Amino acid sequence: AILVMALLNLAFFGVDAFVPLALVDVRHTSTSFAGLALTAATLTWTVGSWIQAHVVRRTGPRWLVRVGLATIAVGVLLTIAVIATGVPVASGVIAWGIAGLGIGLSYSALSLLVLEGAPPGQEGSASAAMQIANNVGISLATGLGGILIAVLSREGTSSPESLVIQFALMTIVLVVALIVAHRLSSQLRSEALGEHGA
């Protein structure tokens, strides 16, 4: 669960950090418009978390994590289409809103899995490991992504190719996360205990 959390943060923030750059430098929108994409993702992240909280005991956390990862991948691929093709630029707001829904579904479910899977008395260590995974994922995403985009760009302006390559690499990270997520528990421990006690 902690590994999937690190991959989730790496992939999501490896695109999120550069969505405004893509919309401003490649599609020539205003910074205010680019901010709408981040706002859309924030709002849909909240919606995804709310959905997760209401269905996780029925569907199981593994299913939610995998659906969330796949939803983020759809959002990233649609964002690539906005950068690489002539689709209406307003689609970028919708595309990144879809990715926000995906992280809302998966992030909270992963946090729940980490804490539920911790041995009694080790919840603090599990929480610390989860925070380290979050921070390492975000740091690698923004740091290495920034270097890649800078190296592949020219004359101080981000090239569409550099952003497409960065976003495509993050899609590959999401595929790896989906494969690893197959090993996650399909049931919460408290759920299992409740069934055995009944």
pLDDT at residue 192 in the model: 39
Residue pair 48/105 in contact by the 8 Å Cβ criterion = yes
The reported pTM is: 0.89
Torsion sign across C-alpha atoms 8, 173, 48, 118: negative
> What pLDDT, in 10s, does the model give residues 103-113?
999 998 998 88
List the one residue out of 119, 50, 105 whose CA is nearest residue 73.
105
pLDDT at residue 45 in the model: 97
Task: Report how far Cα 56 is from the mean position of its chain's Cα atoms.
Answer: 18
Q: In whole angstroms, give the CA distance from residue 67 to residue 50.
A: 15
> What pLDDT, in 10s, does the model give residues 4-46?
999 999 999 999 999 999 999 889 999 999 999 999 999 999 9
Q: In whole angstroms, give the CA distance from residue 160 to residue 9.
A: 23
Amino acid identity for residue 127 in this structure = S
pLDDT at residue 194 in the model: 39
Number of other CB atoms surrounding residue 85 within 10 Å: 9
Task: Report how far Cα 139 is from the mean position of its chain's Cα atoms.
Answer: 14
Residue 154, helix vs strand vs coil: strand
Q: Which two tokens stand for residue 190?
A: 């408290």
Spans of the chain, pLDDT less than 50: 191-198
